[in-house]
Amino acid sequence: MYGIQSPVIGNDILDMGSRRASSRRCQAPPSAKDALMGAPGQFDLPNVPDVSLLSMMKWICFYCVFSLTLGPSQPALYVRSNFASVEGDNDAHQEMKFKKGTTTLAFKFNGGIIVSVDSRATQGGFIASRDVDKVVPINAYLLGTLAGGAADCQFWQRNLGVQCRLYELRNGRRITVAGASKLLANTMSSYRGYGLAMGTMIVGWDAKGPQVYHVDNDGLRLKGKYFSLGSGCTFAYGVLDAFWREDLTVEEAIDLGKRAIYHAAREDQGSGGNNKLFHMTEDGWTMIHSIDVNDMHYEFEEEKKNAMASN
C-alpha cells in the first residue's frame, strides 16, 4: 500500500517471549548474521528484518492485548483458591486477602424510606477509593445498595434493572419491590458457591407502600423495617436501635441516617469518605446530600460542645 511492501511476519515474531522461541533459539545453528551481530542479550531487541514503524506498532499492540486477555484456564477454581472467605483462617495461604469494608443502611418510617451509605472502597488495609457510589438506581422507584465485592454488586444490580424493565414492558406495570428482590434472590441462588460476595438491600415504593428487603450472595431474602450491612454495620445498628421509631419526621430521619453513618465511619476503618443519603417517597427517590464525613465530625463536635455548655 502506497508503494511500501508489507513485511512477512514469521513465527519468530509471533512466538516472541514464549518458551517456543527460547527452545528454537537453543536448537538453531549459529548463522552468519549471528556471528556478525552477536547473540541477543536478555533485554536486547530481537534480530528482525527492517519493517515499517506502523507495522511494528500494530504487532506490539496485538501482542500486549493478547497477553493481557489470557486468563486462568479454570476461572472458578482460581477464584476459590485465591479469594476464599475471610471468615476464620480460610484465607491464610492467600497472598491477596479479599477483605471488604463498608457501611450501608436503610430504614422505613412514616415519611418513606431513608437510604444512607458511605463511599469508601477498600482492598484489605488499602483505601482504593473514597468516592464510590454505593447506591445503584434500578428505576425511579427502586434503589439497591452495595456491600461486599463492588463489581459483583454493581453488575448484578444493573442486571436486575434490565430484568425489571423487561417485566414492565411485558406486563405494562412496574414490578413490585418484593418481585424485584425475589428476582435478585433467585439469581443469587443459581450462582451459589461461585465465589460471589454480595450483601445488598433492595428498597422501593409500590402499591403496598415503602418496602425494604435484604438479599445476599447465597440467595437469602429478608424483609424488615431497617437493615445495616457492611463491616461498620454493628456501629450503625447501635444508633438505629437507640433512636429509630416509625413516627420520625423527615428531618429527624435524615439526621438519624446521617449520624449512623458518621459513627460507623468513626469506629470502622473500612468505612469513610462521603455520606450519601437518599429519601424514597411515593413519588420516587431523591438524593438529599453528599457530605464529607470529616465535615460531619466537626459539625457534631460543635453540637456536643454547645450542649455541654448549655448544661
Catalytic residue IDs = 102
Q: Which of 238, 239, 205, 200 is nearest to 220 (CA)?
A: 200
Contact call for residues 108 and 118 (beta carbons, < 8 A): no
Distance of alpha carbon 244 from alpha carbon 234, whole angstroms: 15
Q: What letter represents residue 79's amino acid?
A: V
Supply 77's cell numbers. Answer: 477454581
Instruction: Retrieve residue 40's grid coordinates.
Output: 541477543
Output the nine-digit C-alpha cell for 285.
427517590
Kindly state the greatest CA–CA separation across the chain.
96
Q: 283, 302, 291, 148: which is closest to 215 by C-alpha?
A: 148
Exposure string over 210-226, b if 16+ CB within 10 A, otherwise e: bbbbbbbbeeebeeeeb
The rounded Cα 296 to chain-centroid distance in angstroms is 25
Beta-carbon count within 10 A of 117 CB: 29
Phi, psi for 276 (deg, rounded to 5): -110, 125
- Enclosing H/E stretch for 284: strand 284-292
- 190: Cβ–Cβ under 8 A, 6 or more apart, which residues? none
